[in-house]
Chains A and B, each alone.
Chain A
Amino acid sequence: METENIQYEKLRKEREDYAVFNRGGKKDYWAYTQCGGCYAICSAKVRVVDGSPVAIESVPESDLGGKGGMCAKGVATVMDYHDPNRVNYPVKRTNPKKGIGEDPGWQRISWEEAMDTISKKLIEIKKTDPRQLLWGFTPGQGTAFKGTLLYGGFFVTFGTLNRAAGGVGTACGAVAHHIGALVHGAWDILPDYQYCNYVLRCGGNEGTAGGRMFSTAVRLSAAGRDRGMKTIVMDPVGYLAASKANEWIPILPGTDLAVFLAMANLIVNETGIYDKEYIRTKTNAPYLVGTNRLLVRDAASGKPLLWDEKDGKAKTYDDPTLTNPALEGEYTVDGVKCHPAFQLLKEHLKQYAPAWAAKISTVPENTIRRLAKELVEEARIGSTIEIDGKKIPYRPACVVGYKGLNTHTNGFHQYGAMALLNSLLGNQDVCGGILGSGTVRGFGYPETGRPSFQPYAGVDGMLIPGVWFTKSPWPPPEPAGPGLMNFTDIFPNAGRNPYPYCDDWDEIWTKAGRPYEPKALALYGTNVVMNGGNPKSAEAFLKKVPFIFSINTAHNETSEGFADIVLPECHFLENLDVASSQGFFFNYPIGMQKWSFHLGLPVVEPKYERRATLDILFDLADRIGIRDEYNSFLDNWFSTKNMKWEQTGAKSNQKSKQFDIIKPEERIRTTEFTDRALQFYFGKERGLDWFIEHGFITWDKKPEECYWRYYVDARIPVYHETLVRDKEAIRERAEKIGMHMDWDQYTALFSYFPAQMYNDASPGSGFDLVAVSPRDVMHTHRFTAENPWVDEMSETNPYTFNIVMNAETGMKKGIKDGDVICLENFKGTKVTGRVKLSQLIHLQAVAVVGLGGWAEGRPIAKGKGINFNQLLPADHKHMDPICGAFEINVMVKAYKVAGGK
């Protein structure tokens, strides 16, 4: 019925394709798909009555999710689908004025007009300089891989690396993903809950309130607790992950680095018990370092050298006769005095005394000592376990953490020091330890051997992920530019950063010579006004962009204030999305949980003029003239020939001319593309029709896949040589344009640096509290606040909409439970909200869930919660100098403004 009214030819054809999803016209059926409540993309099945989704659960027979169980935000997505405020047709802005809170004056337009307008602008930009097009995406609301893979791939193909995502990544995992790639070949990490006995969790709430494997992690960690797994949570907040822990250790935010370095010192220099074999064979700790702090290299091959204690010779890392590489000592190679990196590390760590760390972090010294002792004991270094007939190293203890560790200006060193502890325990990607999530080594479905991928050794024998999106982390590109508006060309280890939505962007761009101006911004959901720093910082930049278009399911503060055209995207319940299946290194069930390949399927035919993401991108690619190249990108990725943004791999179709799924010249639509990809993976009989009926395909995992560490001959960094090597080249470029970073951080061994927030306000200035923003169990990004069911629950959860403050701290400030208080940062920015006094938060911390929206298109979310992010200064001083992470905490003062009821 709807299809007859559709004028746009391409959309009509897409809808004809989508008739296959009407389940034969049944009135009451269950259909498979994947959940889009957050970026965990758990398995899902949905009940549809009279064409309306009414119930959702996860698939009990699958390991992807809660085995029937699903978190509240996932369950609630049924109501998002029914939100009458959704975008149903393309619209254009009629109010030329742009700004926070401006009424856009949306006017409905045709797809033809929308796509014609957008493509004309993009064609013009591509002709002159593709970098004039900026783009950003969100990983939220079922868009994780649509964003990184389909959308990101589009713009990489277009020729612009000007990713302007706002807070996405930078207020999240900028460092974690980078180090995750280098150490695990994975986007993130999780304890091997099935076998782990002891978890030290710092600054992250996976398994209780967040993370890319949410329901799966909840299920596995609950079972782990039931089995007797012990969890210690070291965190300023005690009411989230700590509520399920055996012990809560309050810590001053962003000071975990001191504790980790002190623990590493104890382990290496006092206890002396660590996994020497792991360090020797799986890290670059035995690589020889010269007096210039660079690796000593073989003159002929340029490969790093190690000292073989067996025969007293220097050899390359891949020398087949290398038997016992030295970890300590002093050697001379070709007249150069050198030491194994581990020797330098040992010496370096000696300065980090537990008493010193206690003073900085407020974690008692004897606690620091106890944690180090317990970790080593529980790790059972040297032990093995048999899994499915394979002997695997068994290390059932680990340290894990996420946002609270890495989103600081000291984030690289802080998160890296945590990884160092795990390396010392030898627990990375072996049984019971810390696993790169999902599972990054796969032999594929047994019948077909597809899809298959694995991490491998690259330059200097260092680990490279087999599957990745965003800028490949290794080897880092040469510092270049300035040429990108986000300056990630200058910073080789930064995939993204808060630019250009920073207060000093304009000044810096002028110093860079303004090589071009922003002509257009393409947004996929991403609500940059809300997810970066101060909305005013974002506003200042957005006002400079003459043309902004956004693909949304619902309007938000950014689209209303600044977009010229908004395109209606299908909600995940009506969106065919094969990208959702590609979570191998992101959300697939970890450890010995089964491979679980699901598909994002429409449970109902899309309504109005909403379109599937890939169809919009195919259409745009056709019009702009990049469809051939975009097809190539997708073919490389989905066929596993080259699963990277950089399409230059040895097996890529540009080299081989082999196209397995889609040829450059083909103009197929999403349904056909999906069908082909599935058949490529699982055989001719298991295409789209098969998946509509069966929903997913599952097969047993092999221990060599999830516990791959000793099956892959590659090393991970303990010594970050490229930071030393590239420091001057980076510094020169950055300083020239006024980016005065903390260059001391460009050092090869993890070292102590305080987080910037502590430098912003001097002691005695009155800014005595650290404002933090942890995840709430029911919220992710900002869109959850629009859901009426989630909203109802949030009203009953005292930790969600309120400012949480320590009860004793509040009392000293004359603040009572329920008072309305103001948090004011050192720049004079204020937020107000009701306070909940708690015993479960550090004396010097206040916690706020990041909400507080005003969009008219989100009436349920409007005015709910507090806009925390506006307290965060956005400039180069508040950015980690290595990976571009945003400083996510800020010093504030708190005072009462009104009494509570």
Chain B
Amino acid sequence: MKYGMVIDLKKCVGCYACVVKCKQEHFLPPGMTWRKILMSETGDYPNATKHMYPILCNHCADPACVKACPTTATLQSDDGIVTIDQDKCVGCRYCLIACPYQARTYNADEKKQYFPGQGPTDFEKLGAKLYPHQTGVVLKCNFCRERIDAGIEKGLQPGQDMEATPACVNICPAKAMVFGDLDDPDSEIARYIREKKAVQLHPEFGTDPSVYYVIN
């Protein structure tokens, strides 16, 4: 069992829904995102191309971050998901440097508010209750671990049942993402990767990412 994701860049329109939904789902503080969209151009006018790459933690099969962590805060479970135990993290940020994909962010103690100077909104207050984040630690995408675990307990299937699937996958209006078990050759994601010839980004980094891309 190795959870992974494929992002179809032919379908993706770069609308930022996945980035914002992740912030919403995890009550992330101002300035922090666990997904990003990298935009660039190649070529010369008028034969130029716009590239939009939604990126996130790759939950690599051979993660550099796990090796770098001195406190075992960063661990990889049997299903491939790489998580951070905020209680164990001391904020040394070795993992931040070790990750070749720059997928991690340090949560500095900056007491930011979404409406600066106007106090935390009810949303932010609820976030502190429902999904608290410590400061002085490193944070990153966890493939919505809590949705997957809660879903499995209900007998739901991650990637097939929306309740058990990462929020970003569900929210994409272009239906550009598939989530599931990369180790199962008959799974929807495995077939999608094969049929559409999806690739990993920067395979030369040697960490064997679990996020694949269908290139436009």
Q: How far apart are the CA atoms of A788 and B116 in the complex, in Å? A: 10
Chain B residue with the shortest CB-CB distance to A217: B173
Q: How many residues of A contact B (CB 8 A)?
A: 66
B8 engages A226 (CB within 8 Å): yes
A806 contacts B45, CB within 8 Å? yes
**Is A222's CB under 8 angstroms from B41's CB?**
no
> Cβ of B173 and Cβ of A219 under 8 Å apart?
yes
Q: Kindly supply a per-residue 1/0 record for chain A positions 132-152, scoring 1 wherever the CB is within 8 Å of any chain B CB and 0 otherwise.
A: 000000000000000000000
In the assembly, what is the distance between CA of A72 and CA of B24, in Å? 11
Beta-carbon contacts under 8 Å, A57-95 to B: 57-58, 60, 65-72, 74-76, 78-79, 82-85
Q: Is the CB of A225 closer than 8 A to any CB of chain B?
A: yes
CB distance from A225 to the nearest CB of B (A): 5
Please pick, from A68, A226, A839, the residue contacting B45 in the complex, using a CB distance under 8 A.
A839
With a CB–CB cut-off of 8 A, which chain A residues contact B114?
Answer: 79, 82, 788-789
- Let me know if B5 is at the binding interface, CB within 8 A: no
Contacts of A244 in B (CB 8 A): 10, 13, 216
Decide: A69 and B170 in contact? CB cutoff 8 A.
yes
What separation, in Å, do the CA atoms of A250 and B43 have in the docked complex?
Answer: 15
Given contacts A71-B17, A789-B23, A807-B45, contact A218 B174 (CB under 8 A): yes
* CB-based nearest A residue for B13: A208
Given contacts A55-B25, A778-B15, A788-B115, contact A796 B36 (CB under 8 A): yes
Which residues of chain B are near A56, meaning CB under 8 Å? Answer: 24
**Chain B positions within 8 Å of A199 at CB level:** none
B87 at the interface (CB under 8 A from A): no
Q: Whose C-beta in chain B lies nearest to the C-beta of A65? A: B173
**A218 lies within 8 A of B15 (CB):** yes
Checking A66, A79, A83 against B175 with a beta-carbon cut-off of 8 angstroms, the contacting residue is A66
Q: Which residues of B contact A74 (CB under 8 A)?
A: 17
A788 touches B173 (CB 8 A): no
A67 touches B45 (CB 8 A): no
- Nearest CB in chain A to that of B9: its residue: A244
Chain B residues in 8 Å Cβ range of A164: none
Binary per-residue interface labels of chain A (178-219) against chain B in the complex, 1 for a CB within 8 Å, 0 otherwise: 000000000000000000000000000001110000110011
Bound together, the chains give a CA A419 to CA B17 distance in angstroms of: 33
Stretch at the interface among B46-54, B61-69, B71-79, B199-207: B46-54
Q: Is B126 part of the contact surface with A, judged by Cβ < 8 Å?
A: yes
With A54-B24, A69-B170, A72-B20 already in contact, the answer to whether A82 and B123 are too (CB < 8 A) is yes
Contact B20 A54 (CB under 8 A): no
A57 and B45 contacting across the interface, CB-CB below 8 Å: no
B93 at the A interface (CB under 8 A) = no
Residue contact A840 to B37, C-beta cutoff 8 Å: no
Interface size on B, residues (CB 8 A): 51
Are the C-beta atoms of A839 and B24 separated by less than 8 Å?
no
Is B30 a contact partner of A788 (Cβ separation < 8 A)?
A: yes
Query: A52 near B: Cβ within 8 Å?
Result: yes
Q: Encode B81-117 as 1/0 by CB contact (under 8 A) with A.
A: 0000000000000000000000000000000001110
Highest count of chain B CB atoms <10 Å: which of A75, A223, A250: A75
The answer to whether A84 and B118 touch across the interface, beta carbons within 8 angstroms, is yes
Q: Quick one: which of A54, A250, A840 contacts B123, CB cutoff 8 A?
A: A54
A238 contacts which chain B residues (CB < 8 A)?
A: 46, 48, 50
Q: Is the CB of A843 within 8 A of B36?
A: no
Asked if A55 contacts B24 (CB within 8 A), the reply is yes
CA distance A159 to B171 in the complex (A): 45
* Residue pair B39, A798 in contact (C-beta under 8 Å): yes
Assembled-state Cα–Cα distance A207/B127 (Å): 33
Task: Give A248 to B43 CA distance when docked, in angstroms.
Answer: 13
By the criterion CB–CB under 8 Å, are A69 and B48 in contact?
no
- Residue among A50, A68, A806 with most chain B CB within 10 A: A68
Question: Are B119 and A84 touching (Cβ within 8 A)?
Answer: yes
**Given A52-B126, A777-B15, are A218 and B173 neighbors across the interface (CB < 8 Å)?**
yes
Select the residue from B39, B114, B126 with max chain A CB neighbours within 10 A.
B114
15 contacts between A and B (CB under 8 A): A52-B126, A57-B171, A60-B170, A65-B173, A66-B174, A66-B175, A68-B162, A82-B114, A84-B118, A222-B12, A223-B11, A243-B14, A788-B115, A838-B41, A860-B115
Q: A214-B173, A226-B11 are in contact. List 16 more A-B contacts (CB 8 A).
A: A54-B123, A57-B171, A60-B162, A69-B17, A69-B170, A82-B121, A84-B115, A85-B118, A215-B173, A219-B174, A239-B41, A244-B10, A248-B46, A777-B13, A808-B45, A839-B44
Closest 5 CB pairs of A and B: A66-B173, A839-B48, A69-B173, A222-B174, A222-B11
